[in-house]
Amino acid sequence: MKNFGKTYLIYTGLAFFLLHSCSIKKFIPEGERLYTGAELALDTIGEVKGLKDVKSELTDMIEPNPNTTFIGMKPRLYFHYKAQRKKPGFLYKFLNKSFGEEPVYFSDVDPEQVEELLLNRLNNNGFFYSRTGSETILEEKFASVNYSATVQEPYTLENYEVDMDTLPIYKALEELIKETPLSKNNRFDLDLLKAERERLDHGLKQQGYYNSHANLLIFEADTNQYKNRKFDLFLRLKKEVPKKSAIPYTIDSITVYPNYSIEGDTLPLSKQNRTTVNGTDFIQNEYYFKPKLLETYLLLKEGDLYNANISKTTSSRLSSLGSYKYVNIQYRELDTTNTDGDGGSLAADIYLAPLTKRSVRAEIQAVTKSNGFTGPGLLLSYNNRNLFKGGETLSLSTHFSYESQLSSGNNSSLSSISWGLKGDLIFPRSIPFSPKNFRYSVPKTKISAGVDFLNRSQLFTLSSINGSFGYTWKENRYVYHQLDPININYTRLSNVTDEFQEILDDNPFLRRSFDQRFIAGLLYTFTYDEISDLGKEYPIFFSTNIDLAGNLLSLMDGGSGTILGSEYAQYAKMDADFRLYLRWDKEQTLVSRIYAGWGIPYGNSETLPFVKQFFSGGPYSVRAFNIRSLGPGNFNVDPNDSTTDFFDRSGNLKLEANIEYRFPLFSFLKGAFFVDAGNVWLTGNYDDLEADQQNSNFSNSLFTDGRFESDWLQEVGAGFGFGLRVDIQNFVIRFDLASPFRVPYQPKNDRWNVPFFGNNGNKATLNFAIGYPF
């Protein structure tokens, strides 16, 4: 009842504030009227299809927009007015800067101009001879406008053809209009004609017409042949078009400068450093890149027609090498007096400015984790680009960190030391395939190897060796693939203390997950990503990972279940991550996300390896719960025993959903409200492990409480929170404060909780992280 009283007061105060914010009439200056918007009424003459869409398009033309209304009130305008006082106070200054908007007065409205805009749009859409009008509604402090339009039956297309001439460009246009999206009975639409003109120009640029331009094309509509609002459409070039714009060009020569200097703006023209490969000249004053390898990335060929797409793709392929900071393809028109007059020729010059060959980077880090571990870290990295003069990149890195748990009681002395070495060698080509087999982007071959060491005081030492061989490539602007046919990981658990050995003895599930030391298999990732396309209002992101391990080893081990004396893991694992972004004004975004992952151990394995299991909670998951503190299912442990809590909360099935509203506050500071929900569960047959569990000292039943059943929705953990993000040129430092409103490990009738005010479960969790959660 006490918590209900607090909640009631909060919502009552909010309601009072919103009601008070509607009293804006007293703020309107003398002589002004607040513009409250407009209505549009349509009348038709003849048959007009899609009238609802026509009205929607015309409504979008009415300007200006009135002030924002929320449930009949104008809180954003109210914030603006209150902030204009002599002493507005910090709160109203903040609310005005974040959400306020300036008033829109009737003096800002020009009905006659809007009428002209509406009439112009009707004409552009084929509704010729339509009429528009308006009526102004004036009140003491408010004003609105009622617009009207009488819409005539539109003109529709009957025939579309090229007004032929002898120039070769007309034959090209005749072929291009065979693929036109325009069809018979299409309504006259100026925007569609502009799009068609752009399409034709794009097509011409793929057929050698280097100097073509959309503005050189013109459409003529002829209505004289019909009396029923039909028209014929004719395409031709404008009068007095330059000859060079109407002829195709071929590439006469290709010259590449692999070691071009932007700063000096000089070219290495020494003929002694000229190398020719398949008709392409390579000139470099210092031997920087092997011409024979560089030539395989070029799609331009001597004697081919100029093609804008091929030129753009070649530039993209050269940029993806990772060796150049600047790629510029320039074309020079050559003398065409020796040609037959029906074509021109171009010289293609490709300027490539290299990146710094070697770089060293050092980072000092301060790490704070959601499980209470905090401490300093050091990261060192070294990069060598163009290692073998073929665009290869060698990356070496090492890291070291010390963490200690900032807590009291039995957990205060827990600490960990970790260090590791990693090396990556990336070839900007697909070994052993030729780059010419891939048109959009050249695949990269990546060879990786590394070692990691983790010593957790009072518990254990964990060391691992890993290596992989695979490919990455972009299929198009949005689609990305990663395939590692060879992926190996060997883990060794040592220096196990009596305390941790007791945990392993009491938890067969955990013990078996550590027994699987050797992991060898295949990894594949598919990603579809539209987020970087700022032109999309509703971009989506989808990624899925497939992880298969142990199948090849099972054919080689002779039934022993071991390889080189170590037990190996055998499983299949897959996850999928889908996100939808809704963007609107002032960088506001609503992001919704659904994630699902499932791993199935089989053959040689009873459980997934510990490093392959799913966890829930933390700054990139359900943020109202600490990392690894949620699940499986409604399973619970002693909250005072951090060692047990850290290792037990995992599963082989994970379901999660998130929704987050992001908005700007000021400058580089952003805000967010979010709701997270999810959990992990156990699936499959664990009869042998469950029998061992019953014979142990472990009091709770991991397999009963953590199993995925038909009532799994009752075991979903959920929380609400808000966050602040420091976003400086896409480097994001994030603080999220969240509290649960659904706690699955509480008794069934006591799982709901009032966020931040309830007594059920943890009050609030503060998450610190780098980057956005999704």
CATH number of 628's domain: 2.40.160.50
Regarding whether 676 and 583 lie in a shared domain, the answer is yes
Regarding whether 326 and 230 lie in a shared domain, the answer is no
User: Which of 245, 261, 280 is at the close of a domain?
Assistant: 245
- pLDDT of the residue at 690: 63
Question: pLDDT tens for residues 582-625?
Answer: 998 778 899 999 999 999 998 888 888 877 889 898 888 999 98
Regarding whether 671 and 586 lie in a shared domain, the answer is yes
Domain count, the chain: 4
User: Which of 152, 172, 193 is at the close of a domain?
Assistant: 152
**DSSP three-state, residue 172:** helix
Regarding whether 254 and 228 lie in a shared domain, the answer is no
Residue 470 lies in a domain: no
Regarding whether 230 and 283 lie in a shared domain, the answer is no
Question: pLDDT tens for residues 1-17?
Answer: 444 444 433 444 444 44
Res 151 pLDDT > 90 = yes
Instruction: Return the ∠ at Cα 270 (arms to 266 and 276), rounded to 5°.
Output: 110
Residue 372 lies in a domain: no
The answer to whether 221 and 270 have CB atoms below 8 angstroms apart is no
What are the structure tokens assigned to 6, written together? 């607090």
Report CA 763 to chain centroid distance, whole Å: 32
Regarding whether 165 and 147 lie in a shared domain, the answer is no
Regarding whether 211 and 63 lie in a shared domain, the answer is no
Residue 746 lies in a domain: yes
Regarding whether 772 and 654 lie in a shared domain, the answer is yes
Regarding whether 286 and 143 lie in a shared domain, the answer is no
- Please state, in angstroms and rounded to a whole number, the distance separating the CA atoms of residues 757 and 748: 20
What are the structure tokens assigned to 119, written together? 């009439």
Question: pLDDT tens for residues 487-510?
Answer: 999 888 888 888 888 777 777 777
Residue 421 lies in a domain: no
- Please state, in angstroms and rounded to a whole number, the distance separating the CA atoms of residues 280 and 303: 11
Residue 36 lies in a domain: yes
- pLDDT of the residue at 264: 53
Best CA proximity match to 571, nearest among 489, 464, 483: 489
Residue 427 lies in a domain: no
What's phi and psi for 185, nearest 5 deg? 75, 5
Containing structural domain, residue 316: 249-354
Regarding whether 732 and 703 lie in a shared domain, the answer is yes
- Please state, in angstroms and rounded to a whole number, the distance separating the CA atoms of residues 621 and 679: 9
- pLDDT of the residue at 652: 92
Residue 439 lies in a domain: no
Q: What percent of the chain has pLDDT over 90?
A: 50
Res 702 pLDDT > 80 = no
User: Which of 354, 375, 403 is at the close of a domain?
Assistant: 354
CATH number of 196's domain: 3.10.20
Regarding whether 290 and 256 lie in a shared domain, the answer is yes
Q: What percent of the chain has pLDDT over 70?
A: 86
Q: What is the mean pLDDT of residues 347-368?
A: 83
Report CA 243 to chain centroid distance, whole Å: 45
Please, which pLDDT band fits residue 408 given cuts at 50, 70 and 90?
A: very low
Res 351 pLDDT > 60 = yes
- pLDDT of the residue at 687: 66
Regarding whether 674 and 598 lie in a shared domain, the answer is yes
Residue 203 lies in a domain: yes
CATH number of 86's domain: 3.10.20.310
The owner of tokens 């709701």 is: 675
DSSP state of 70: B
